[in-house]
Structure 1
Amino acid sequence: MATADMFYYLLFLLWCVTALLVHFFIKTFLKSRNQNNLPPSPPALPVIGHLHLIGAVLAKSFQTLATHYGPLMQIRLGASTCVVASNAVVAKEIFKTQDLNFSSRPEFGSSEYFIYRGSRFVTAQYGDYWRFMKKLCMTRLLSFPQLDKFTDVLDEEKVKLVESVNGCAREGKLCDLNCELTALTNNTICRMTMSTRCSGSDNDADQIERLVKICLQLAGKLSLGDILGPFRIFDFSGNGKKLVGALQAYDRLVERVLQEHEEKAKKGFEEGERKDLMDILLEIYNDPAAEIKLSKNDIKSFLLDLFFAGTDSSSAAMKWAMGELINNPEAFKKLRDEINTVVGPDRLGQNFRYLPFGSGRRGCPGATLAMMVMHAAVGALVQCFDWKVKDGKKVDLTQGPGFAAEMAHPLVCYPIKHMNAC
């Protein structure tokens, strides 16, 4: 029996090695045929490509490599090849001049385990479905008139943020801005999406928030299939199975909330009653004359992407802003003075040195919402409080791993109420 088992183990090992070698030679052959069309690239190792040159912080690794190989370079992460652009001139060429050629999105990482494959707006290929969803975002879901209806929601969540921080200030306790800012963004998005708060509410929305965080952590982990292309079908780490389980749990909860909204819609809305994003999406779902017929999966996937953005990138941007301001008292004072006197017009523009929301056709449709939340939160924290770092040190601005460029260490400080500003 043991001899038979050993034979099968050896056979499986031989199959693995053969598959790797065949994959490597095919990639090498194709590379040699297209070598003239590729950007500069560091020397790569068989199978793993340039993974040995990549550290825990992806952006820092790319920055270091760009100093040697230029503003446009080719990087191979195992079986996946990508092109890295790292200056304003190249970024403008990609996002403006060649915008249409870069309008689609390749599958990467954990996308194969997403139960909404084919329904994801963020990763959809450039085509009719993507154009319809983008138009929907800009004209109804995330338009200025729609966001204007929720200004009271943002104001209320901002007040709750100030009250929570003020409680820490009264008691002389440390304030965890990571938790406070994440709660602000999540509650704002939950109330806009399904008319209920999520953080600390112990309801369906609260459970959805927890599942979104789990999905985000699992989705951000590099799959072994991305490194060893032929083994993409195997889930060696088990993260794929966990992600599917979390997504299925999310699906059940959102389905329940959707049914509640459908029942409410059948009874009819009162005159002047505000519709949330879920109500609007269900209207389009039930509209026989809609340009493209939305499915329930389309709705659930869109909401998931919206939660991802709020949980990850928006709160991370606010933490970095507060960390930089606390470490630079002159900039902090200048901002406070500006808030207390007059706030100038919006100056977002198209600066290709800094692209927090992307640009061109695939620019983030939720940029206006994100800026509203960030301006309100950072403005309130600067206007109402002074901040002191524990032990008199400066905020540690070391960047951590992950796609959202999170801080490596929690942003925890002592808030001191600024006179009677708030």
Structure 2
Amino acid sequence: MDLELNTNLIILITSFVSAFMLYALFKWFLREQGSTDATKLPQSPPALPFIGHLHLIGKVLPVSFQSLAHKYGPLMEIRLGASKCVVVSSSSVAREIFKEQELNFSSRPEFGSAEYFKYRGSRFVLAQYGDYWRFMKKLCMTKLLAVPQLEKFADIREEEKLKLIESVANCCGEGLPCDLSSQFIKYTNNVICRMAMSTRCSGTDNEAEEIRELVKKSLELAGKISVGDVLGPLKVLDFSGNGKKLEAVMEKYDLLVERIMKEREAEAKKKDGTRKDILDILLDTYRDPTAEMKITRNDMKSFLLVCFLSPAISIQFSI
């Protein structure tokens, strides 16, 4: 009985794998055939079934793209497993895409961690071009990230800069090694936190520090989940369990920021006449009955998340 059950199980698994391979091979064949259509696609290196161009990618991704661009031009199509992307390696082509053809490229595709993201549909950076995208862009340009708003926090940037210099000088004076990467991360985190929520993220035991840790953890998990994009339909199985971990981290972030927002709303009357941070402006827009578009609490939490993520991502890539 056990032998018969094991045999049936093996047959079932073999049939599933064979069917999946045939399906993937069929899709690859159709894709190759479709490349001869009237729509001219960017040049692309020879691809292998299933893995695409993964065999051409080395340990350093930018170096691999640079070597491929020398052969296939400044605009080329790359397929990493089941994910397809376009690589731009020329300033003139990038200017054409982001300036001359801005509306055609305003919408952003969703990647690996999208289905585990709590604020799906509220992400300004990856929002589809439409009313929400236009409203948030206008809000950023006129209030949230406008030059007058940034100038109000010039003293904060100067203060954090002096703290950075002082910390590096202390290390040098004591003859100790100084980790500049961590120092710059601490500096950018503190500047962003103080501009967003009027509190420092490092060196104090407060809610902002907890948010920073949650954001750091979510960035690490999202990066691991994005690797699953090469698996195509199989990524929904979440083999590593990182998807569930990301959902748990996002839930903690949501509860913490919601509590901070409620506390800030209760103190709103005390903030009259004082310098407003990004959270204050978002809450004013949220309560404004005359606003062009009604933003939600998820929209605000998502925007704050982007504020905290931006320095972490930029420093990670620069290092």
Q: Under TM normalisation by the shorter chain, which class is it?
A: over 0.9
Q: 1:177 deviation in Å?
A: 0.7
User: Of the candidates 244, 248, 252, which is equivalent to residue 245 of structure 1?
Assistant: 248
SS in 1 for 2:77: strand
Q: Does 1:176 align with 2:166?
A: no
Change (3 A) 1:28 1:160: same
SS in 2 for 1:220: helix
Q: 1:204 deviation in Å?
A: 1.1
Contact 2:228 / 2:235 at 8 angstroms: preserved in 1? Answer: yes
Q: Percent identity?
A: 58
Q: Map residues 293-332 of structure 1 onto 2, 5 A cutoff.
A: 293-313=294-314, 316=315
Distance across 2 between alignment mates of 1:145 and 1:223 = 37
Q: 1:112 deviation in Å?
A: 2.1
Deviates more, 1:41-50 or 1:10-19: 10-19
Aligned to 1:191: 194
Aligned to 1:66: 69
Distance across 1 between alignment mates of 2:102 and 2:113 = 26
Q: 1:157 deviation in Å?
A: 0.8
Q: 1:292 deviation in Å?
A: 1.2
User: Of the candidates 90, 105, 109, which is equivalent to residue 102 of structure 1?
Assistant: 105
Paired positions, count = 316
TM-score for the superposition, normalised by structure 1: 0.71
Contact 1:20 / 1:228 at 8 angstroms: preserved in 2? Answer: no
Q: Does 1:269 align with 2:246?
A: no
Q: Which amino acid letter does the alignment assign opposite residue 8 of structure 1?
A: L
Q: Does 1:135 align with 2:156?
A: no
* CA displacement 1:235-285 (0-9 Å, x = unmatched): 0122212211211111111111111111111x4424x31111111101111
Q: 1:230 deviation in Å?
A: 2.0
Q: Which amino acid letter does the alignment assign opposite residue 233 of structure 1?
A: V
Q: 1:11 deviation in Å?
A: 1.5
Q: Map residues 140-179 of structure 1 onto 2, 5 A cutoff.
A: 140-179=143-182
Distance across 2 between alignment mates of 1:192 and 1:90 = 34
Q: Does 1:92 align with 2:95?
A: yes
Q: Does 1:229 align with 2:232?
A: yes
Q: Does 1:82 align with 2:90?
A: no
Contact 1:193 / 1:277 at 8 angstroms: preserved in 2? Answer: yes
Q: Which amino acid letter does the alignment assign opposite residue 269 of structure 1?
A: K
Distance across 2 between alignment mates of 1:193 and 1:88 = 32
Q: Which structure has greater helix proportion?
A: 2
Aligned to 1:284: 285
Contact 2:75 / 2:87 at 8 angstroms: preserved in 1? Answer: yes
Contact 1:141 / 1:280 at 8 angstroms: preserved in 2? Answer: yes
Distance across 2 between alignment mates of 1:111 and 1:274 = 35
Relative contact order higher in (CA < 8 Å, ≥ 6 apart): 1
* CA displacement 1:20-47 (0-9 Å, x = unmatched): 4213312421431233422211111111
Change (3 A) 1:2 1:225: farther
TM-score for the superposition, normalised by structure 2: 0.93
Distance across 1 between alignment mates of 2:253 and 2:9 = 40
Contact 2:76 / 2:87 at 8 angstroms: preserved in 1? Answer: yes
Q: Does 1:216 align with 2:219?
A: yes
Q: Which amino acid letter does the alignment assign opposite residue 284 of structure 1?
A: T
Q: Does 1:117 align with 2:120?
A: yes
Change (3 A) 1:202 1:34: same
Aligned to 1:19: 20
What stretches of structure 1 move > 4 A for 4+ residues in a row? Answer: none
Q: 1:13 deviation in Å?
A: 4.3
SS in 2 for 1:43: coil
Q: CA RMSD in A?
A: 1.8
Q: 1:117 deviation in Å?
A: 0.7
Change (3 A) 1:5 1:255: farther
Tell me, which stretches of 5 or more residues in structure 2 are unaligned?
Answer: none
Change (3 A) 1:225 1:17: farther
Q: Does 1:405 align with 2:311?
A: no
